[in-house]
Amino acid sequence: MAELTYRDAVARGIAQEMARDPDVIFFGEDVAKAGGVFKATVGLYEQFGPRRVRDTPISEQAILGAAMGAAMTGLKPIAEIMFSDFIAVCFDFIANEFPKSRYMSNGQTKCPLVVRTGNGAGSRFGAQHSQSVENWCMMIPGLKVVAPSTPLDVIGLLAAAVRDPDPVIFFEHKSLYAVKGEVPDGEILDTLGTAKIVRPGKDCTILALALMVPRALEAAQRLKAQHGVDCEVIDVRSLVPLDTQTILGSVARTHRVFTVEENPRLCGWGAEIASIIADEAFYDLDGPIVRITTPHIPLPAADILEDMVLPTVDRIAETVRRGLSA
């Protein structure tokens, strides 16, 4: 058992899969000798060499075009898009090319690739480098979408993504890179499409993703200590496939639901889950589903303003408290 940071877990996860399978390759902007702009790929170039770990030009379209070509010809590429905001630059590949290749070729062509990208706010990068864009990708048929919150989940879900026959968008939260967690020795493999109950409870269900998971856990602890409210916290982890069984099972036990979403409120992932709960578990609910989100605005770069718009522990705890007492 070792204690790793989230960023070190990224490197370990990639190294595990590259050591296991010689067809796995990795490339992106400054990911080789520099070890990545967030230092999440340190050591991979030295371990696997320039044929399998490569720097690319500053061209997101070129990166994903090369990844698709490599995947269609038998390799298993991991491609890095430095900031998730830049998915917009190469969205044609993500929306029109990767996810449709197997369908349009009647299974003759597969596209087994992983796009890793730094997602989310908290680092004062401003409106074009701080967005949470997982909802951009979850709407596209044929894509799988993952966002881990712990070092252990980074490794396990990354391994599952690399071994999956379909394209996977793998969101790493930039504000979690320094977070530490215990990781066992040996190979780690998780399962896509599975949520985790990270805190059992009986009074309500809180659904959270990535950076919002530790904030939801802290809010749940505060609610228990100060108000005796026992919250169940679920780390959604995988948006596509979505673990509706775990979510609906929790709703049946607690009868109240809150989502904690970093993405802007309009068309956020919590809206889709709320729709599923309303369709399939309406009579299990004792009150309305409440969404705790970032407002529908560009993210500010100023420290105090960025902190103000993101869901905080205080806002989560107070919203849950008021919602349950209404």
**Strand pairing category for 168-173 and 257-264:** unpaired
In a 13 Å sphere around the CA of 248, the CA atoms on its Cβ side amount to: 13
β partners of residue 183: 2
Write down the catalytic residue from 129, 173, 227, 296: 129
Which residues have a Cβ under 8 Å from the Cβ of 160 and sit 6 or more positions away? 189, 190, 191, 192
On whether the CB atoms of residues 276 and 236 are closer than 8 A, the answer is no
Is 129 labeled as catalytic in the residue annotation? Answer: yes
Residue type, 85: D
Across 179-189, b (16+ Cβ under 10 Å) vs e yields bebebeeeebe
Kindly state the DSSP code that residue 88 receives in the 8-state scheme: G
Q: Which residues pair with 83 in a beta bridge?
A: 118
Beta bridge partners of 93: none
Integer Cα distance of 118 and 85 in angstroms: 9
CA 28 to CA 322: how far, in whole Å? Answer: 46
Query: What value, to the nearest 5°, has the Cα angle with vertex 312 and ends 306 and 318?
Result: 135
Q: What residues are labeled active site?
A: 129
